[in-house]
Amino acid sequence: MEKGVYTTGTRALVRELRSCGCSRANIGRAIAACGRAAQLTLVGNVSRRTATRSIKEGGIAAKVQIGYEVSRVHAVSGSGDSTSHKSVDYGAEHITLLAPNYKDPSQPDIPKTRVLDISSNPGHRAEHQRDKFEQHIGEIGSLLANCPFAKRYGIVFTVTSFLKVLKGWNSDHAPDQKKLVRLVIGWKGTALRIEMGYDELIELDTGEAQKLLDNVRDVCEVSAGGKEKWKALPDEERNTIRKASMDALALRLGEERYQALSSEDKRDMDLFFWAGCSMHKELNSVVGGAAEMSKHWDEFDLTPPVLLANKDNDAAIEFARASGESSEASRRAEKESKRGAGKFIQLAGSYFRNKDDKKGAHDDHRDFFYVHVGENTQFPDIANSRYHTICLGCVRVFKFLDQYRLFMAQQRDRKGAANFSHMEQNVNKSLYDTPTIEEAVCYGMYYMLITGSYAIAMRGGGTSNALNMLEQGPFHENVLNHVRRLITNPLCIFGYGTESSDELFESSVFLAGEKVHGWLDVDFVDAVLAKHRLGDLPNLIPLLTRFLIGTLQKWIEFTEEFRPGGAIATATAAERQSVHIPTANDANEGLLGCMRRTLRASSVTIGQFCLQAMYTYNGTQDFMDALFTEEDHRWLLKTCREIDRSGEEKRRREGLVEYGRMKAVEHRKKLAARADAMAEKARIVKETELCLDRTEVDKMTKDQLQKQINVWRTIFDDVAKAGAIKNRPERLCEVVRCMERYLDDMDTAATGSGEKDTNNGSLDDDMDADDE
């Protein structure tokens, strides 16, 4: 501490200790303990508040770092994802760009992924995510506007300057993320044209420019209802209207200027790539394979995997089976219950490695397999939906099938009553069910043949940032061809057919074009081959073929960005190399997971977590050590205190509450409008006389026919909806159909009533005769 202020080195040490996991409250104690051990005399004691502010200073410096790095490059790719935590939506954003090595500036720039922000969103819609993205870029621009570092390096960072270099986006394949990309592309195009329009306006002759400005003024006055009303508006409202009108003028001028550009300049301005996360491609391929495989049992009238109903549904199903009478409850229970290897492994994961450490087998399972097979590992983390976990669970269960059967028997017999819980019973009966085990083998073999190697390849040097997804089009075409080859010749997997398994590997999709010989888990494959040769897996080959067919459909669907004629396929090699997009969305997925864990375990706010994450993951201390001066550190101290006084966290929470209130009001209005519409519709239906005269029906207009259809809908459930029959001929056909059906029903009812009377009469006569 110097003159009552902690030194730059001390504040850096605080941030480093926090990054290593030391809590803010204990950082002061940790520093004091280190000082005593080194026999140093320390002045002051770092409080929790000081530690918090030091961490915030690191996050502010990380924003300066982003502005600096973006200003040095010509292309940036963005990425994002969102999740919910305690009923609030949160979004994470990253950018990937060529960044320098601050420790050794002589090294070439390499692609680095930087945390841009993580914060709460008012909702999950793509529009909310785009607005937040713009807000975060704008905040960095505002921060740099008064930063001595930015002035010293001549950095001008605005939303438009960022959009100029934003050339790509990486996300998962969810509809909201694809819509977000479309919104970002549209936002970029509009912003760049508006900037071009303002440049054009500046370059115009004074007289011509004045005419345009006078026209803008007239438009503003007209929108306000006249000149006097315009003058009476508050300044803030007038500025908002004036800016919107000026932007509209600039957009028109910018579009004209854009159309005058050369085709090369237009392409450079519009260049934008989207690439989906490779791990979501793999994940969805497994989903497609499982769905296709499950159809095999019914199509060939085979015994399907055992039903794995929960306790309540199982009771309803068993009661119906015992009584011999099916009820609505039993049918619903059977419909809701699932079967198959996917469900089995989910139950196994919940039992062997439950996310609640007070439930399940946990260390019993781990110790058992350490003693029996020498593996001190846990069951795959099914509860947290890790990539490959279902496939890896299937591999593990089949490889150690006998040991798992023994373990379950031991778990049962160690209890006083020597019986299974319902979950244990489901897991145990699946271990002895051949169709379930056959499906598990298909999951495992798919991992061996495709996704295990695919994941390794997509991570190149160990991370998804090592490879550029824009260069992976040929690789994914190889994946498709490899799956097709397996479908057409599945026997070669098991040592039959025209190819051996070694030859199959020569065509497989492995590490960055390198050929890797041998299976990822030889013991599992040996176990599969042994069981298959003994005839214990009779349906394996057709099941695996169906699984591969389902995965191929998903691979085709989820590699759409590489299709011929798309942005990636038509780009030049130089264009693809200029933009680096990671092969997976790990950065956002991981940051959101880290956020959930941190917010559960501590009292930090999302703003504090964001600044800490930016500082830690962006390597900001190296940036500060290399380029910051004392003036920059003093600015950090001042800015941090201003942000503290601004009530940022309070505004965030108030904003979420206000958004919830607005949504509730909006929904109430919709419900009221819907109720009014239904009441009006009911009134019209009540006042409309049902017409059974074909001649009159033929004369009706389209609207009159719709009223008749509305009446018929109160009589028959299967009447077509209004949206399905839009023109008059279709409505006429529907009315005639309903009318004829109604008349037929009337005739049938009348005939049936007459027959009933006749029968009753003869029965009465018989009874009278017997009485006589």
Task: Note the pLDDT of residue 120.
Answer: 92
Is 291 inside a domain boundary? no
Q: Which one-letter amino acid corresponds to residue 313?
A: N
Tens-digit pLDDT profile for residues 235-250: 999 999 999 999 999 9
Is the confidence at residue 202, as pLDDT, over 70?
yes
Whole-angstrom distance, CA of residue 554 vs CA of residue 285: 5
Question: What is the chain's alpha carbon radius of gyration, rounded to the nearest angstrom?
Answer: 35
Is 577 in contact with 468 (CB distance < 8 Å)?
yes
Cβ atoms < 10 Å from Cβ of 211: 12
Based on the fold, state whether residues 211 and 142 are members of the same structural domain: no
Task: Note the pLDDT of residue 341.
Answer: 94
Based on the fold, state whether residues 12 and 151 are members of the same structural domain: yes
Based on the fold, state whether residues 718 and 752 are members of the same structural domain: yes
Q: What is the layout of strands, in order, in the sheet containing 110-121?
A: 110-121, 88-99, 76-85, 166-171, 273-276
The encoded tokens of residue 502 equal 């070694």
Tens-digit pLDDT profile for residues 703-757: 888 888 888 888 888 888 767 787 888 889 988 888 888 888 888 877 765 544 4
Is 118 inside a domain boundary? yes
Is the confidence at residue 254, as pLDDT, over 60?
yes
Q: Given pLDDT bands bounded at 50, 70 and 90, which one contains residue 514?
A: very low
Which of 382, 413, 419, 418 lies closest to 397 in space, CA to CA?
Answer: 382
Which of 34, 137, 208, 55 lies closest to 614 in space, CA to CA?
Answer: 55
Based on the fold, state whether residues 616 and 669 are members of the same structural domain: no
Based on the fold, state whether residues 119 and 46 are members of the same structural domain: yes
Residue 219 has phi, psi (to 5 degrees) of -65, -40
DSSP string, 316-341: HHHHHHHHT---HHHHHHHHH-EESH
Is 639 inside a domain boundary? yes
Which of 48, 55, 43, 53 lies closest to 26 in space, CA to CA?
Answer: 48
Whole-angstrom distance, CA of residue 269 vs CA of residue 165: 9
Is 253 inside a domain boundary? yes
Q: Any bridge partners for residue 89, and if so which?
A: 84, 121
- Work out the percent of the chain whose per-residue pLDDT is above 70: 92
Looking at 432, 451, 466, the residue that finishes a domain is: 432
Q: Between 670 and 759, where is the model more confident?
A: 670
Tens-digit pLDDT profile for residues 566-593: 999 999 999 999 999 999 998 999 999 9
Is the confidence at residue 497, as pLDDT, over 80?
no
Candidate ranges 40-49, 505-514, 591-600; pick with highest mean pLDDT: 591-600
Cβ atoms < 10 Å from Cβ of 422: 13
Range of the domain at 681: 648-687
In which region does residue 39 sit, left (phi positive, over 0), alpha (psi from -120 to 50) or beta (all else)? left
Across residues 35-49, what is the average pLDDT? 80
Cβ atoms < 10 Å from Cβ of 111: 17
Whole-angstrom distance, CA of residue 695 vs CA of residue 698: 5
Across residues 415-434, what is the average pLDDT? 92
Task: Note the pLDDT of residue 269.
Answer: 94
Is 703 inside a domain boundary? yes
| Cα 306 to chain centroid, rounded | 32
Q: Given pLDDT bands bounded at 50, 70 and 90, which one contains residue 383?
A: confident
Q: Given pLDDT bands bounded at 50, 70 and 90, which one contains residue 2?
A: low
Is 42 in contact with 82 (CB distance < 8 Å)?
no
Based on the fold, state whether residues 30 and 101 are members of the same structural domain: yes
Task: Note the pLDDT of residue 756.
Answer: 46
Q: Which helix (H) or strand (E) holds 133?
A: helix 126-145
Across residues 631-657, what is the average pLDDT? 90
Is the confidence at residue 762, as pLDDT, over 50?
no
Looking at 624, 646, 668, the residue that finishes a domain is: 646
The encoded tokens of residue 362 equal 């946990």
Tens-digit pLDDT profile for residues 518-529: 678 889 989 999
Point out the least confidently predicted range of 39-48, 143-152, 242-251, 758-767: 758-767
Q: Does the reported pTM lie above 0.95?
A: no
Across residues 497-501, what is the average pLDDT? 49
State the Cα torsion 421-423-428-429 to the nearest 10°: 110
Point out the least confidently predicted range of 1-5, 62-66, 147-151, 361-365: 1-5
Q: Which one-letter amino acid corresponds to residue 407?
A: F
Task: Note the pLDDT of residue 760.
Answer: 44
Is 539 inside a domain boundary? no
- The percent of the chain in helix, strand and coil, each rounded to the nearest 5, is 70, 5, 25
Whole-angstrom distance, CA of residue 542 vs CA of residue 503: 21
If 0-12 CB within 10 Å is exposed, 13-18 middle and 19+ buried, where does residue 506 land?
exposed
Look at residue 605 and give its three-state secondary structure: coil
Is the confidence at residue 263, as pLDDT, over 60?
yes
Is 369 inside a domain boundary? yes
Write b or e for each residue in 541-557: b if 16 or more Cβ atoms lie within 10 A of its Cβ, otherwise e.
Answer: bebbbbbbbbbbbbbee
Look at residue 280 and give its three-state secondary structure: helix
Based on the fold, state whether residues 31 and 165 are members of the same structural domain: yes
Tens-digit pLDDT profile for residues 693-714: 888 888 899 888 888 888 888 8
Across residues 282-303, what is the average pLDDT? 94
Is 27 inside a domain boundary? yes
Q: Any bridge partners for residue 113, and if so which?
A: 96
Which of 157, 62, 136 lies closest to 93 in space, CA to CA?
Answer: 136
Whole-angstrom distance, CA of residue 11 vs CA of residue 61: 13
Q: Given pLDDT bands bounded at 50, 70 and 90, which one contains residue 398?
A: very high
∠ CA 672-676-677, nearest 5°, is 115
Mean residue pLDDT across the chain: 88
Write b or e for each residue in 65-93: b if 16 or more Cβ atoms lie within 10 A of its Cβ, otherwise e.
Answer: bbbbbbbebebbbbbbbbbeeeeebbbbb
Is the confidence at residue 676, as pLDDT, over 60?
yes
Based on the fold, state whether residues 82 and 130 are members of the same structural domain: yes
Count structural domains, the chain: 5
Q: Which helix (H) or strand (E) holds 619?
A: none
Based on the fold, state whether residues 347 and 412 are members of the same structural domain: yes
Across residues 302-328, what is the average pLDDT? 88
Whole-angstrom distance, CA of residue 479 vs CA of residue 501: 17
Is 285 in contact with 451 (CB distance < 8 Å)?
yes
Task: Note the pLDDT of residue 318.
Answer: 86
The encoded tokens of residue 633 equal 């550190």
Is the confidence at residue 370, as pLDDT, over 90?
yes
Is the confidence at residue 152, as pLDDT, over 90?
yes
Query: Which residues have CB under 8 Å from 640's CB, separation 6+?
Result: 53, 56, 57, 60
Based on the fold, state whether residues 46 and 153 are members of the same structural domain: yes
Query: Which residues have CB under 8 Å from 433's CB, separation 6+?
Result: 305, 306
Based on the fold, state whether residues 590 and 729 are members of the same structural domain: no
Is the confidence at residue 685, as pLDDT, over 90?
no
Q: How far is CA 482 from CA 228, 275, 446, 487, in A?
A: 74, 22, 12, 9
Q: Which one-letter amino acid corresponds to residue 623?
A: F
Whole-angstrom distance, CA of residue 203 vs CA of residue 415: 87
Based on the fold, state whether residues 600 and 666 are members of the same structural domain: no
